[in-house]
C-alpha cells in the first residue's frame, strides 16, 4: 500500500477492493450558463452533512453508442489533475421522469450550431429549477429508464475569458498584452499535460476560466467530443483548418485554436467570426473563404504588439499544421523565454488577480500591493482601443471582423 506521499506502508487491515454506495445528494441552486450542447447548473453536493458547490453540465445521450463515447471521454477527463484544468469528478444521471417538462422542452430547443456562450457566474446564480429543500436525487448507475447525464465539475468562482474580453470591449479596452499572453501560456501548460492522453478540440474563450485568485483554468475536456462525434466538433469561430476540412485532428489542432484566442486578446480582432444567424453550412463556407486569405500579423494590426509576441501568435496560426509548434510545451517555452520573462520578471497568478481586482473596481481604486504585482505594465494599466494604436490595415480588419 502507498500513502499520499508515495511511501510504502503495511496497514493493519487491508480494505483494498471494498465497495460501498455513495450517499451524496445534489440540490440544483440555479443556472449559471448554457450553450448548444446543454445547460450548466450550480449545485450543492451534500455527503453525510458535508456540503460543497459543484457545476453540473447537462448532456443528453442520443444513442447507446453516444453514451459509450461519453463515458469513455469522461473517464479520461476525470484522470486529468493539473492546476490549470477544471477538475472533472465524473458522471451522474437524473431519470427524465424526474425533470420538469419545460426543462426538457428547453433542451429540445438547443442546437449546437446556434450555441450561445457558456458563462461562469460572477454573481449569485439566478432562478431555481427546484426548491432547495427538495433536492434532485441522482439516479443509481444502470437504471433502465432514459436519463439526463450530468458531468460533475469543480465550480470555479470567477469569470470566463469571453465575458472578460466582452467587458473590456464594452469599456473600449483590451487586456494588457503581457496578461493576455500569460493567460494563453497557462492554457498551453494545461494542454502540454493533457495532450499525453486527450485532444481538447474545443479551445475557445468560453472554455477558458479565470478564478478570483488569478488562476487560469481550461474547462470541458471530452464534453464537446462526446456531444458531436461524427460531425464538426467545436465552435466555428475557433476551428482549425483541419477541423473545417473534416480531417483527423491531433494536438496541433488545439494550438491553432489557442492562436485565435491570443490574436483576439492582442488585437481585438475575431479572425474567424461569422454571423450567428447564418445557416450552419453557410457559416462553415464563410470560414473556408476566410482561410483562403493570409492573416495579417498581429504586430501589423496594432503597433503596441511586440514583434516577438506576434511571431509566436502567427506560428500558432499556421494553416499547415506541420509549420506550427510541434507541441504545446514548445509554444509556451517560446512565450516565456522570448516575451513573458525575457527581462527576468513577468506575470504570475498574483499579477492576474491584482488586475482582476483593479478592473472590477473600474480602475478607480488601486492598492500599493496591487501595483507591485504589475511592474511589467509600467503604470499603464489600461490598454485602450484607439485609432492611434492601429495601422490602416489593422483598422480595416477590425471593422470588417466586427461587422460580420
Domains and CATH numbers, the chain: 23-155 (3.30.200.20), 157-404 (1.10.510.10)
**154, 159, 150: which is closest to 57 by C-alpha?**
150
pLDDT at 129 (0 to 100): 34
pLDDT at 143 (0 to 100): 47
Radius of gyration from C-alpha coordinates of the chain:
22
| Residue 151: pLDDT over 70 | yes
CA 242 – CA 240 distance, rounded (Å): 5
Q: Quick one: average pLDDT of 345-359?
A: 97
CA 237 – CA 233 distance, rounded (Å): 12
Plot region of 22 (φ>0 → left; ψ -120 to 50 → alpha; else → beta): beta
Q: Quick one: average pLDDT of 253-267?
A: 98
Q: For 166-205, write each residue's pLDDT tens digit.
A: 999 999 999 999 999 999 999 999 999 999 999 999 999 9
Decide: 289 and 375 in contact? Cβ < 8 Å. Answer: no
Decide: 168 and 175 in contact? Cβ < 8 Å. Answer: yes
Higher-confidence residue: 133 or 81?
81
Average pLDDT, the chain: 85
Q: 390 pairs with which residues across the strands?
A: 302
Cell, residue 161: 475569458
What is the CB-side half-sphere exposure of residue 27 using CA atoms within 13 A? 13
Confidence of residue 118 (pLDDT cuts 50, 70, 90): very low
**DSSP single-letter state for residue 370:** H
Q: Quick one: average pLDDT of 218-231?
A: 61
Q: Which helix (H) or strand (E) holds 106?
A: helix 101-109
Angle CA(126)–CA(362)–CA(206) in degrees, nearest 5? 50
**288, 277, 275, 282: which is closest to 239 by C-alpha?**
288
| Residue 109: pLDDT over 90 | no
| Residue 72: pLDDT over 80 | yes
Amino acid at each position: 500500500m502507498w500513502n499520499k506521499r508515495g511511501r510504502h506502508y503495511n496497514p493493519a487491515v487491508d480494505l483494498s477492493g471494498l465497495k460501498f454506495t455513495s450517499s451524496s445528494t445534489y440540490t440544483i441552486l440555479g443556472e449559471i450558463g448554457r450553450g448548444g450542447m446543454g445547460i450548466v447548473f450550480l449545485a450543492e453536493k451534500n455527503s453525510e452533512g458535508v456540503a460543497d458547490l459543484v457545476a453540473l453540465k447537462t448532456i443528453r445521450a442520443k444513442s447507446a453508442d453516444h453514451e459509450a463515447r461519453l463515458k469513455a471521454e469522461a473517464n479520461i477527463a476525470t484522470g486529468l489533475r493539473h492546476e490549470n484544468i477544471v477538475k472533472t469528478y465524473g458522471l451522474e444521471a437524473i431519470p427524465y421522469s424526474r425533470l420538469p417538462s419545460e426543462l426538457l422542452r428547453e433542451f429540445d430547443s438547443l442546437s449546437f450550431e446556434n450555441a450561445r456562450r457558456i458563462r461562469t457566474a460572477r454573481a449569485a446564480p439566478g432562478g431555481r429549477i427546484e426548491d432547495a429543500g427538495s433536492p434532485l436525487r441522482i439516479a443509481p448507475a444502470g437504471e433502465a429508464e432514459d436519463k439526463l447525464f450530468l458531468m460533475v465539475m469543480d465550480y470555479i468562482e470567477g469569470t470566463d475569458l469571453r465575458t472578460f474580453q466582452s467587458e473590456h470591449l464594452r469599456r473600449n479596452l483590451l487586456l494588457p498584452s503581457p496578461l493576455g499572453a500569460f493567460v494563453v501560456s497557462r492554457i498551453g501548460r494545461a494542454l502540454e499535460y493533457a495532450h499525453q492522453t486527450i485532444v481538447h478540440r474545443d479551445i475557445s474563450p468560453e472554455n477558458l476560466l479565470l478564478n478570483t485568485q488569478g488562476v487560469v483554468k481550461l474547462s470541458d475536456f471530452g464534453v464537446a467530443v462526446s456531444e458531436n462525434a461524427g460531425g464538426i466538433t467545436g465552435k466555428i469561430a475557433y476551428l482549425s483548418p483541419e477541423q473545417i476540412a473534416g480531417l483527423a485532428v491531433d494536438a496541433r489542432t488545439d494550438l491553432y485554436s489557442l492562436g485565435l484566442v491570443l490574436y483576439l486578446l492582442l488585437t481585438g480582432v475575431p479572425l474567424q467570426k461569422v454571423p450567428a444567424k447564418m445557416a450552419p453550412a453557410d457559416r462553415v463556407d464563410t470560414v473556408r473563404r476566410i482561410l483562403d486569405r493570409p492573416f495579417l500579423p498581429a504586430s501589423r494590426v496594432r503597433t503596441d504588439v511586440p514583434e516577438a509576441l506576434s511571431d509566436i501568435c502567427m506560428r500558432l496560426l499556421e494553416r499547415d499544421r506541420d509549420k506550427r509548434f510541434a507541441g504545446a510545451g514548445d509554444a509556451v517555452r517560446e512565450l516565456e523565454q522570448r516575451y513573458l520573462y525575457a527581462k527576468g520578471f513577468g506575470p504570475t497568478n498574483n499579477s492576474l488577480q491584482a488586475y482582476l481586482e483593479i478592473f472590477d473596481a473600474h480602475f478607480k481604486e488601486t492598492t500599493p500591493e496591487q501595483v507591485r504585482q504589475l511592474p511589467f505594465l509600467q503604470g499603464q494599466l489600461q490598454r485602450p482601443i484607439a485609432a492611434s494604436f492601429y495601422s490602416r490595415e489593422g483598422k480595416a480588419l477590425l471593422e470588417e471582423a466586427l461587422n460580420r
